[in-house]
Amino acid sequence: MNKGEILIIDDEPQIRKLLKIVLESNDYKVVQAVNGTEGLNLAANHPPELVLLDLGLPDKSGHEVLLELRNWFEKSIIILSVLDSEEDIVKALDNGATDYLTKPFRTGELLARIRSSIRLNQNVELQHIIFADDLEIDLTSRSVFRNKEVVKLTSTEYNLLILLAKNQGKVLTHQYLLKNIWGLGAQTETQYLRVFIAQLRKKLEKDPNHPEHFITESGVGYRFL
């Protein structure tokens, strides 16, 4: 059963060969591009379910390719790169990457990230109610329930929850969250996030000290599961 088409944009033949073997053995169709220009053309002519993008391409920066893709491509883009600096990871996520894995990567983890990203493609856009274990978020009525009981949230707590929940599984950077909740002038005020994430964990997690939904991505941001 074909689980969907994945476009690999990477100039390293060994990485492309490894990815092709792993993905095809897990019932994905694979299309390959050796540079950014070819990748953009392939994506435009036949949009895939997901893109695996390297940042170190021979003809143009992977960050540039990511930005061009995000002008029209709405599905998931996972970065696979040897670049592991916080600056590169944050830049890619801010520019619209769904997820980021550094090379060398574990194939099991990559497949899990791919499955999560494809589920995100399929489920989030038309969802009016988001379910997460014992949580239920009704986007129409702006109501939040835990174990079927209403949880009272402040306006800011609710807005932060919804931004995370609508991007479930995706890492949202500190800067992205601050800009979208508090505005452009607050992009360095990371203490806001620490306070409000702690409040959401206290109200919505079974054990706030061992969160299952509001996951910290150290030095980068938060992910809602």
End-to-end distance of the chain based on CA atoms, in angstroms?
27
- pTM of the model as a whole: 0.63
Convert the pLDDT of each residue in 173-199 to its tens digit.
898 888 888 876 776 778 888 999 999
pLDDT at position 61 is 92
pLDDT at position 118 is 84
Whole-Å CA distances, 217 to 7, 40, 100, 104, 156: 26, 29, 11, 19, 21
The second-level CATH assignment, the architecture, of 129-224 is Orthogonal Bundle (1.10)
| CA atoms of 186 and 172, how far apart (whole Å) | 15
Burial 152-176 (b: 16+ CB within 10 A, else e): ebeeebbbbbbbbbbbbbbbbbbbb
Contact (CB, 8 A) for 49 and 8:
no
pLDDT at position 64 is 92
Domain ranges (residues) in the chain: 5-123, 129-224
| CA atoms of 201 and 211, how far apart (whole Å) | 7
pLDDT at position 1 is 66
Nearest to 151 by CA among 206, 76, 90, 225: 206
Nearest to 80 by CA among 55, 58, 115: 55
| CA atoms of 193 and 16, how far apart (whole Å) | 39
Q: Which homologous superfamily is 5-123 in?
A: Response regulator (3.40.50.2300)
Convert the pLDDT of each residue in 96-129 to its tens digit.
888 999 998 999 999 999 998 887 766 554 567 7
pLDDT at position 167 is 85
Per-residue pLDDT of the chain (225 residues; tens, 9 = 90+): 678 899 999 999 999 999 999 999 999 999 999 999 999 999 988 889 999 999 999 999 999 999 888 878 878 899 999 988 888 888 898 888 889 999 989 999 999 999 988 877 665 545 677 888 888 888 777 889 998 899 998 888 988 998 898 888 888 989 888 888 887 677 677 888 899 999 999 999 999 999 999 999 988 899 998
Asked if the domains 5-123 and 129-224 are classified in one and the same CATH topology, the answer is: no
Contact (CB, 8 A) for 150 and 158:
no
